A and B are shown apart, each in its own frame.
Chain A
Amino acid sequence: MSIVVAALVAVTVLVALEGAGPAALSRHLYLAPVIVAALHFGAPGGALAAAAAVLLSAPFVLPEIERAGLTTEAIEGLVTFGVVVLVGVLSGVLRARAGRHRRRYELLVTIQRALADEAALDVALGRLRAALASRLRVDAVAIVGRDGERLVVAGGDRVAEGSLAARVLESGEAIFVGDTGGDGRARRAFATPLMSGGHAVGVLAVERKGEISLTERATLEAVGAHVGIALENARLVSRQRRFADELAQRVAEARRELEELDRAKSAFVAIASHELRTPLTALQGFSEILAVRRLPPEEVARLASVMRREAKRLGRIVSDLLDLSRIERGLEPALCRIPVKIDAVIQATAEIFRQGSATHLIMTECEPALPIVEADPDALERVLTNLISNAIKYSPTGSTVCVGARAAAEGVAIEVADAGRGIPAESLSRVFEPYYRVPDAAGAARGTGIGLAVVKALVEAHGGTVHVESAPALGTCVTVVLPPAASLTPRAARV
């Protein structure tokens, strides 16, 4: 600045010393400080320097006009005025325009750098705000970004309802406020939406005590659009990565489940083969004995009784397998429902076990006048058979298995309780899964791991529920609740 002033004064002194009035050759030297001022300070600098040059040279031109009118020398002086002003203003404007383009480019690069690394939205916005604050030369800058329903604010605590930022976010239109209040120089505010896909995904707000020119506003709008797209890209990349991680996790889980299922099925095949082979072997062996030997009638009756029991067991296993097959195909077990008195079914089933097993005490306890349920008697018997046989299998010899029924709010509750080892808490939620067997129980008793799955499917096909309660070392109680005949669901009634 001082160099420009000194140069202008020096040129004026030269013109004065030359003594040639308005046509002094050294007057052209005014162009040098004017151009320097324009290149350094832009259009205002160029215009001011040109005005100063005109003011300084006026005392050499105007007296000539006053004295002799528009002489050639005077016209030369006036033309010099025009040229100096034109050069000053034009150079300044061009310099300012170039400067604006450079700043805009640098700003975009700054934004790219700020958002280059993948980071959480609040971190990215904070980084971006810091970068913009150092570039935009404003008094305050804030960036607001949408993160779902939440607003992340960099440069402030919150977005108040009815504020400029809230209005811009709502309307998606940029708003310029010429005066935000207070004395002295007006404090301007400009807020522009961060646009992505035609929607406002945030707001860029700046405030300055002074001008925010049209050009600056246009630049800020362009920056807003750019930041919006950059933020959206960052958000998409982040989301994509999150999805990929989730997908990988789910695939790993599914794979683990499949591997476990595969192991369970392999185990099931082995167990089922064994379970099928045992009664078959008994049937085959006893039938051969009956075919080739002549035995006393009591022995024949005993062998026939064993064969009948093993055939029943074989039939039950096959029925369970068929039901399981239907369940796995997404079908419900086929039922033939009729009104059934639960206590009668319980008594009959318990009696069968009493006759077949002398190792456990089977106790029944049914409330009088239980509601009638509409059920498939055969399915109900299989449910009870599965539950009672499980109770017998997993409780110590000589213990008691209690089978009872009572009226409940939802219908009739059937409970089968034993005094066995119980089921660990972590296995309780899985005991109704097909092929699942409680790990430490697998070696304690024979079983296919499909009994409870079949029980659950049969009960639910009746519109009922089943749940298990167990305390380690105290025993297990399985409760089946069946709806009364009057409150059958339509779905269940159709079956």
Chain B
Amino acid sequence: MWSLDQPYILRAEPLLAGTPLALLAVLAVGAGASAVLVGLQVAPPLVLQIAGVTAGHGALLVTALAWSGVRSSSCVVAVALLALAATAAAVVPLGAGAYLLPAFWVLWLAVRGRLAALGLGTPIPPQGLIAGALVGAGLSAHLLLSASRTLGVETRIDHVPDVLAAMAYDVGANVLAAECFFRGALFQRSQRRWSFAAAAAVATVAYVARYVVDPLLPKTVELVIGAVFYLALLGVINCWLVWRYESQVPGLVSALVFFAAYRTLGAG
């Protein structure tokens, strides 16, 4: 028993220890430079879109990977694949499929046991998968129902390629990066310092804030309130799923299902 036979040492590691500051700085500089170039009309707006996606999701993903002890080179590979996918998606109509590349890279790292700290590559209880799917389905159903009833937003399943591209983006960038960072890294670190409630609050507030400041979110009041409402619920529930099943996969499933439903809406 740890209390009897292991030395009791107070751990004073800071919450943000291990953050890849150099890589984050490179991403920030890249995004800033793109913005300047596009502002000066030296580069097309497409460049800013690619840099923004790469910097935004890349920052979250590489921070999560670095916090779990992955080598810097693997983090660089993840950013490079994200940049490649963003470029492909911006240039070629079916290029969004390239977003599966960062997902496969993360999967490969997880299979090799390097992401156990993030809750990836660990055993996945079937009940966790079912719970994640049910949570995603429940929130999706509520979203679709309330959105169609209150906002009059209709689904757009007639634009299947767009929906699939958005789903690929969620799989390889949006959901993957957000879940890895906010649940796999931030929540996991927080729950080692504070209670579940405090850790879930920290992770969820940061998660919601990330989407509220996202330039891709339409800035109508209804959509912002709706986003805060659903993302807060999704955030808290995913924290609980990670806590309960000690795996990030149920949370990934719930988030992917929810975002899939969101992508079918006209607003997505």
A contact residues vs B (CB 8 Å cutoff): 55, 58-59, 62-63, 66, 140, 142, 144, 153, 155-160, 162-167, 175, 177-181, 183-187, 189, 191, 205, 207, 210-211, 213
Contact = CB atoms under 8 A, between A and B. Distances in A.
A185 B240 CA distance: 10
A178 B191 CA distance: 8
A164 B3 contact: yes
Nearest to A206: B3
A185 B191 contact: yes
A159 B142 contact: no
A156 B4 contact: yes
Given A55-B142, A183-B122, A211-B196, A160 B246 contact: no
Given A59-B149, A164-B8, A167-B8, A183 B116 contact: yes
Given A55-B142, A59-B145, A153 B4 contact: yes
Most A CB atoms within 10 A — which of B1, B6, B142, B192? B1
Given A59-B146, A160-B6, A191-B3, A185 B246 contact: yes
B119 A184 contact: yes
Contact of A158 (B5, B11, B195): B5
B5 A156 contact: yes
B188 to A, nearest CB: 8
B193 interface: yes
A163 B3 CA distance: 6
Contacts of B11: 179
30 contacts: A59-B145, A59-B150, A62-B150, A66-B150, A153-B4, A155-B1, A155-B4, A156-B1, A157-B5, A160-B4, A163-B5, A163-B6, A164-B3, A164-B4, A177-B8, A178-B194, A179-B11, A179-B192, A180-B2, A180-B3, A183-B117, A183-B119, A187-B2, A205-B4, A207-B1, A207-B2, A207-B3, A210-B196, A211-B195, A211-B196
B4 to A, nearest CB: 4
Contact of B4 (A55, A158, A213): A158
Contacts of B122: 183-184
A185 B243 contact: yes
Contacts of B4: 142, 144, 153, 155-160, 163-165, 205
B149 A63 contact: yes
A100 to B, nearest CB: 17
A92 to B, nearest CB: 15
Contacts of A186: 191-192
Pick from B4, B8, B194, B243 the residue with the most CB of A within 10 Å. B4
A369 to B, nearest CB: 72
Contacts of A155: 1, 4
Given A160-B5, A180-B6, A207-B3, 9 more contacts: A59-B145, A66-B150, A66-B151, A160-B4, A162-B8, A163-B4, A165-B4, A184-B119, A185-B191
Chain B: interface secondary structure?
helix
B7 interface: yes
Contacts of A156: 1, 4-5
A178 B8 CA distance: 12
Contacts, number: 94
Contacts of A183: 116-117, 119, 122, 246
Interface of B: 1-8, 11, 116-117, 119, 122, 142, 145-146, 149-151, 191-196, 243, 246
Nearest to A209: B246
A178 B1 contact: no
B142 A162 contact: no
Contacts of B192: 178-179, 186
Nearest to B11: A179
Contacts of A211: 195-196
A155 B1 CA distance: 8
Nearest to B139: A55
Nearest to B2: A180
A165 B195 CA distance: 22
Contacts of B119: 183-184
Nearest to A205: B3
Given A189-B3, A191-B3, A163 B8 contact: yes
A140 B5 CA distance: 13
B141 to A, nearest CB: 10
Contact of A62 (B1, B117, B146, B195): B146
Contacts of A163: 3-8
Contact of B193 (A165, A179, A191, A207): A179
A210 B244 CA distance: 9
A97 to B, nearest CB: 17
A189 B2 CA distance: 8
A55 B229 CA distance: 11
Contacts of A177: 3, 8
Contacts of B194: 178
Nearest to A175: B8
Sort A-B residue pairs by CB-CB distance and give the 7 closest, nearest first: A184-B246, A205-B3, A179-B192, A156-B4, A164-B8, A164-B3, A162-B7
B51 to A, nearest CB: 34
Contacts of A164: 2-4, 6, 8
Contacts of B116: 183
B192 to A, nearest CB: 4
A362 B243 CA distance: 102
Contacts of B6: 160, 163-164, 180
A160 B150 contact: no
Contacts of B8: 162-164, 166-167, 175, 177
B245 to A, nearest CB: 9
A93 to B, nearest CB: 14
Contacts of A180: 2-3, 6
A142 B1 contact: yes
B94 to A, nearest CB: 37
A385 to B, nearest CB: 72
A164 B194 CA distance: 19
With most chain B CB atoms within 10 A of its CB, the pick from A55, A140, A211, A213 is A55
**Chain A CB within 10 Å, residue with most, of B6, B8, B191, B195:** B8
Contacts of A167: 8
A163 B7 CA distance: 4
A185 B192 CA distance: 8
Nearest to A51: B233
Nearest to A189: B3
A164 B7 CA distance: 7
Most chain B C-beta atoms within 10 Å of own C-beta, residue among A166, A180, A186: A186
A187 B122 CA distance: 17
Nearest to A211: B196
Contacts of A179: 11, 192-193
